[in-house]
């Protein structure tokens, strides 16, 4: 979709990161580095909780920054910079999840036969099932419970939650990143939050740890 001059001007005036990106378009290495430093932790955090692997999230974040650099000459401000960046991240993550699910199908036998679980969600399930020392489980029990709750969401619900919660994105921005309608985002988030609430209901009502994975 073509971006009008007035839209580009509006975002350029409002968003300092858009101005930095325009400097990147003009081949400023310093502006690129500044943008990367501003977004690297946020990006890796969202990707880590989306994918369930910190190492993979780091690789994907680098891929995202590389795509930003490659796209610099075509960049026209049509949204906030963060929206544009996370749209790229969403595409990269979806591709990764697709190939990961293919690999998982292939490696199913190996994983089932006792190979170390690379996915933290799987590790948490192990922890919850009592395979890890009790003191480690106790130390991060709350975090694990929340991660487990996040783990029951599907990929789209999880992405919507992460963007809404940790990037403070409104429904319209989440919709733009995920290339769906704001109404669909409203429905995704309601379903996701309902699911999370159901998973941790024992904790909310009686202070008990939920029994996921046990």
Partner 1 sequence: MNPSQPAPEEAPSETATELVAYLDGELDADAHRAVEERLGRDEAYRLEMQHLQKAWDLLECLPRVTVGESFAATTVEMVAVNAEEELQQQKSKWPARRRRQWLLGSGGLLAAAAVGFAAAWLMLPNDNDELAEDLPVLEHLDAYQQIGDIESLRLIYEAGLFPDVPVSEAEEIELEDDETTESN
Which of residues 60, 124, 159, 200 is near partner 1 by CB under 8 A?
A: 200
Which of residues 111, 155, 202, 213 is near partner 1 by CB under 8 A?
A: 155
Q: How far is the CB of 50 from partner 1 (least distance, A)?
A: 12
Q: How far is the CB of 150 from partner 1 (least distance, A)?
A: 7
What does the alpha-carbon distance between residue 40 and residue 43 come to, in Å, rounded to a whole number?
A: 5
Residue 161 binding partner 1, by CB under 8 A = yes
What does the alpha-carbon distance between residue 55 and residue 40 come to, in Å, rounded to a whole number?
A: 14
Residue 61 binding partner 1, by CB under 8 A = yes
What does the alpha-carbon distance between residue 14 and residue 161 come to, in Å, rounded to a whole number?
A: 25
Q: Which is nearer to partner 1, 84 or 171 (CB)?
A: 171
Whether the Cβ atoms of residue 12 and residue 41 lie closer than 8 Å to each other: no
Q: How far is the CB of 25 from partner 1 (least distance, A)?
A: 14
Residue 37 binding partner 1, by CB under 8 A = yes
Which of residues 7, 62, 111, 119 is near partner 1 by CB under 8 A?
A: 62
Helix (H) or strand (E) holding 174: helix 171-178
Per-residue burial over 89-103, b if 16 or more Cβ lie within 10 Å, else e, is bbebbeebbeebeee
């Amino acid at each position: 979709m073509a971006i009008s001059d007035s839209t580009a001007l509006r975002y350029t005036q409002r968003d300092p990161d858009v101005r930095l990106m325009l400097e990147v378009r003009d081949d400023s290495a310093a502006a690129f580095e500044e943008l990367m430093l501003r977004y690297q932790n946020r990006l890796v955090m969202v990707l880590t909780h989306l994918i369930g692997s910190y190492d993979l999230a780091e690789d994907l974040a680098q891929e995202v920054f590389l795509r930003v650099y490659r796209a610099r000459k075509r960049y026209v401000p049509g949204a906030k910079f963060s929206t544009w960046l996370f749209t790229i991240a969403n595409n990269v993550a979806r591709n990764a999840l697709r190939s990961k699910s293919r690999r998982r199908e292939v490696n199913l036998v190996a994983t089932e036969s006792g190979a170390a679980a690379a996915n933290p969600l799987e590790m948490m399930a192990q922890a919850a099932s009592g395979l890890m020392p009790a003191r480690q489980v106790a130390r991060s029990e709350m975090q694990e419970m929340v991660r487990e709750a996040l783990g029951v969401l599907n990929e789209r619900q999880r992405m919507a939650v992460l963007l809404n919660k940790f990037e403070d994105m409104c429904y319209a921005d989440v919709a733009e990143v995920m290339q769906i309608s704001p109404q669909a985002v409203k429905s995704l988030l309601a379903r996701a939050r309902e699911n999370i609430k159901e998973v941790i209901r024992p904790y909310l009502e009686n202070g008990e740890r939920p029994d996921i994975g046990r």
